[in-house]
């Protein structure tokens, strides 16, 4: 991806916008596309929220708070990578929308290598852990970076197998949140020999709602995801689903129908996931060219916008858009079809409603009502 380094002030504003209340990756990208910079978007956010009926805009961290987070990350030896910068991982930049930023601890350059995620059950069988460890080692020998989530079981085995050749761990909490605590030594090895990645605020302790976002980064960094063991309500299946939505390959290791940890993987195979019995299956399955954005295309490229005309168009369609929303998520493009309005107008109305706390913009191009 093209893009020069941001200045310290621009990086602080980028972080402030990314950490603002009610602004996720979807709204973040829309605001940058519309206003051209984080600074301009920050100035516009309170006005946009009021236009959708909010008494006040969402809470936005101060410049001092953003600078404090940057200083805290740098004190740990971590790097903040913003999605507009050239050294942002290209596969993450290809997501729609990309995460606005990530923190990295260790060798961030390995995130540009072709990668495979290996994930699975926390309470994994000995056989499953052995398979994951060997699979990760074999993929590393073939030149792939192995990505996982540093959890117990399959994740830890995948990291252990791939550390000699290249391993990256994505955390749900901040870049300094070692979870589970007994993986402190593994975390230190990953930071020294591989790379640790987090989208969360430095110092944040992981909460349940952070793990789906963590899973999106695991699949987003990878050309394919291999699920080794997973029960039917496993978080690993969320990672596999996200990989499919992102256009990545999904592989599953078959298992005994008598083992509950095989139910999720066997079901993935029934749904069309590629069967994985060895690294060769994965390597062969990744031969299909990956259709990402062009490497030099900036997903935040700003075009000219007639603000007065856009505001008037949004005013005309906002109530109709909100009336179509319900707690059941619906594709944003379906709202465009139902309203007959231009996509930019509908998306603008949705962002205003989200900033006012009346809509929720979800990954995968979905939106629902909120509260």
The whole-chain average pLDDT of the chain stands at: 94
pLDDT at 364: 81
Average pLDDT over residues 338-367: 94
pLDDT on residue 370:
87
- Going across the sheet that includes 167-171, the strands are 79-82, 101-106, 195-198, 167-171, 145-148, 115-119, 224-227, 249-252, 274-275
pLDDT band at 297 (very low <50, low <70, confident <90, very high): low
Residues of the chain with CATH 3.40.50.450: 106-285
Band (pLDDT 50/70/90 cuts) for residue 371 is low
Q: Is the pLDDT of residue 193 over 70?
A: yes
pLDDT for the residue 305:
76
Do the Cβ atoms of 132 and 140 come closer than 8 Å?
Answer: no
CA proximity to 101, closest of 12, 168, 178, 180: 12
Which pair of tokens denotes residue 354? 């989200």
Whole-number pLDDT of residue 1 = 41
Encode pLDDT of 26-60 as tens digits. 999 999 999 999 999 999 999 999 999 999 899 99
Read off the pLDDT of residues 304-343 as tens digits, 9 standing for 90 and up: 678 999 999 999 999 999 999 999 999 999 999 999 999 9
Going through 177-277 in order, the beta strands assigned E by DSSP cover 195-198, 224-227, 249-252, 274-275
pLDDT tens digits for range 9-19: 999 999 999 99
DSSP 61-84: --HHHHHHHHHHHHHTT-EEEETT
CATH of 106-285, one of 3.40.50.450, 3.10.105.10, 3.20.20.140, 3.40.30.10: 3.40.50.450
Q: Give me the pLDDT at residue 295, please.
A: 39
Q: How large is the average pLDDT for residues 277-302? A: 72
Query: What's the pLDDT score for residue 103?
Result: 98
Residue 293 has pLDDT above 60, yes or no: no
Locate CATH 1.10.10.10 in the chain: 307-369
- Note if the pTM is more than 0.85: yes
Give residue 363's pLDDT.
78
123 has pLDDT over 60: yes
Please give the share of the chain, as a percent, with pLDDT higher than 70: 95
Q: Distance between the two ends of the chain, CA-based, in angstroms?
A: 38
**At which residue do the structure tokens 């973040």 appear?**
28
Looking at domain 307-369, does it have CATH number 1.10.10.10?
yes
């Amino acid at each position: 991806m093209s893009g020069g380094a941001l200045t310290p002030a621009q990086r602080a504003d980028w972080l402030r916008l990314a950490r603002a209340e009610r602004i996720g990756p979807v709204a973040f990208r829309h605001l940058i596309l519309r206003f051209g910079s984080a600074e301009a978007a920050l100035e516009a956010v309170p006005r946009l929220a009021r236009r959708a009926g909010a008494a006040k805009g969402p809470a936005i961290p101060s410049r001092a708070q953003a600078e404090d987070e940057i200083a805290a990350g740098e004190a740990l030896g971590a790097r903040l990578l913003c999605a507009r910068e050239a050294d942002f991982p290209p596969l993450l930049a290809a997501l729609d929308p990309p995460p606005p930023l990530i923190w990295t601890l260790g060798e961030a350059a390995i995130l540009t290598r072709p990668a495979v995620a290996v994930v699975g059950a926390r309470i994994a069988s000995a056989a499953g852990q052995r398979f994951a460890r060997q699979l990760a080692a074999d993929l590393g020998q073939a030149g792939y970076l192995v990505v996982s989530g540093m959890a117990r079981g399959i994740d830890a085995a995948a990291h252990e197998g791939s550390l000699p050749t290249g391993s990256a761990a994505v955390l749900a909490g901040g870049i300094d949140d070692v979870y589970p605590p007994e993986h402190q030594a593994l975390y230190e090895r990953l930071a020294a020999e591989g790379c640790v990645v987090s989208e969360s605020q430095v110092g944040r302790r992981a909460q349940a709602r952070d793990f789906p976002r963590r899973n999106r980064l695991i699949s987003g960094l990878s050309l394919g995801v291999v699920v080794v063991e997973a029960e039917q309500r496993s978080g690993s299946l969320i990672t596999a689903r996200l990989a499919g939505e992102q256009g990545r390959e999904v592989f599953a290791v078959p298992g005994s129908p008598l083992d509950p940890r095989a139910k999720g993987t066997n079901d993935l195979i029934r749904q069309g996931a590629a069967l994985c019995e060895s690294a060769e299956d994965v390597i062969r399955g990744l031969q299909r060219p990956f259709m990402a954005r062009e490497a030099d295309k900036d997903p935040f490229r700003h075009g000219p916008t007639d603000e007065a005309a856009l505001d008037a168009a949004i005013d005309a369609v906002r109530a109709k858009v909100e009336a179509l929303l319900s707690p059941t998520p619906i594709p944003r493009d379906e709202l465009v079809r139902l309203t007959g309005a231009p996509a930019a107008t509908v998306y603008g109305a949705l962002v205003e409603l989200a900033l006012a706390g009346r809509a929720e913009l979800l990954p995968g191009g979905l939106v629902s009502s909120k509260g």
